[in-house]
Amino acid sequence: MGTKHLGTSLERRQKLMQLSILNNANPSLYSALNQSVCERFSYNPYIVPTLFFLMFPIALLLNVVAAWVSVHLKSTSTFVVYLKNLVAADIVMTLMIPMKAAADLPTTWEQLAGPTCRFFAVIFYNAQYTCIALLGLISLDRFFKIMMPHSRMFGQSLTMSKVISATVWLVLFGGTGLPNILLTNKSVANASLITTCMVLKGPAGVHFHEQTSLLLNIFFWFVSVVIVVCYICIANRVIQSYRNSGSNNSQGKQKIKLRVFLVIIVFFICFGPYHIIRIPYTSQQVSYSNADCSQTYEYLRFAKELSHWLATTNICMDPLLYVFLCREFKEKLMSMMENCFKAPGKQNHFGQFSGKNNNNNNFYF
């Protein structure tokens, strides 16, 4: 029995070695044979790209409208400065979706792997973390405006908010994006050998990728804590102001709690799962080889792809939050819609939804 087991194990190793050699000669045949030997977890490779393609028109419509409104907003407050930068980051992510989705398709991966790994994926990921950073800055901006209205802390001037926004773009794209582009510098004679983007990175590129993934994950959880603390403090302060004024507006208090809940829950539902999976996935990714029989990597890869799609849905959520939370954005949108749809000689009723008629303007951003 032991001899039989030893023989089976030896045959398995020999088959894997043969498959590794075969991969260089005939990748498609290798893939089919390797699947039977390794018995890997497999999933339909069209699921996630299809989800991205379905998201694209929705994200494009919402963010074009958001950009249209933000262009017509005057930068009269630090919040509007951060909002405009957030809209720009969302637009960048939206424009990268078709290329990312197309590259993830099995039929086009070989043609698009090079430019996607070197440029498009890097731009996409850096725009995502720019969004996260700006959402954190917006929460801090609101915190200082409401909790310390007379303070000049944390860039409570238009010039400083523009400098901070520019610094976010520069640090993320210059400090992590550009090195990733430069370190994805290996040339591969046969494009079919590019099974993951790690194939195009040398040892320095792989190490940099691993370290930046870890740092950006830590950065996300730090921003998460900031957002939760800021919005809970803001909600408590506004509710306390109701009590101090003797107001019995329970509906207004519920609206405040709902807005805080929406901001926090949307942020965590979108970004949380991806960042929980990201670290174990990256650890497997940098050490993964096609000759390995690792079901763990395949499970993590699918979970990472699906959770990253979920994280990307944030670009659809942001424009809705602008309307729900930003009085100035909402009023400008309603005004522009009124101008577009107003029929001559008829009164338009878009104005009834304006933030001016809302008794709970304190919590609007």
Question: Are the CB atoms for 56 and 98 separated by under 8 Å?
Answer: yes
Mean pLDDT of the chain: 80
Least confident span in 92-101, 127-136, 184-193, 219-228:
184-193
- What pLDDT does 12 receive? 44
Q: What whole-number distance in Å separates Cα of residue 94 and Cα of residue 127?
A: 10
Contacts of 168 (CB under 8 A, 6+ apart): 85, 130, 133, 134, 137
The yes-or-no verdict on residue 199 having pLDDT over 80 is: yes
- Give the residue with greater pLDDT, 35 vs 180: 180
Burial of residue 192 (number of CB atoms within 10 Å: 0-12, 13-18, 19+): middle
Least confident span in 3-7, 25-29, 268-272:
3-7
- Give the residue with greater pLDDT, 33 vs 104: 104
3-state secondary structure (DSSP) of residue 76: coil
Least confident span in 238-247, 287-296, 313-322:
287-296
3-state secondary structure (DSSP) of residue 95: helix
Question: Are the CB atoms for 172 and 89 separated by under 8 Å?
Answer: no
Q: What whole-number distance in Å separates Cα of residue 343 and Cα of residue 205?
A: 59
pTM: 0.81
Return the domain boundaries, the chain: 1-39, 43-321
Least confident span in 49-63, 104-118, 298-312:
104-118
CATH number of 43-321: 1.20.1070.10
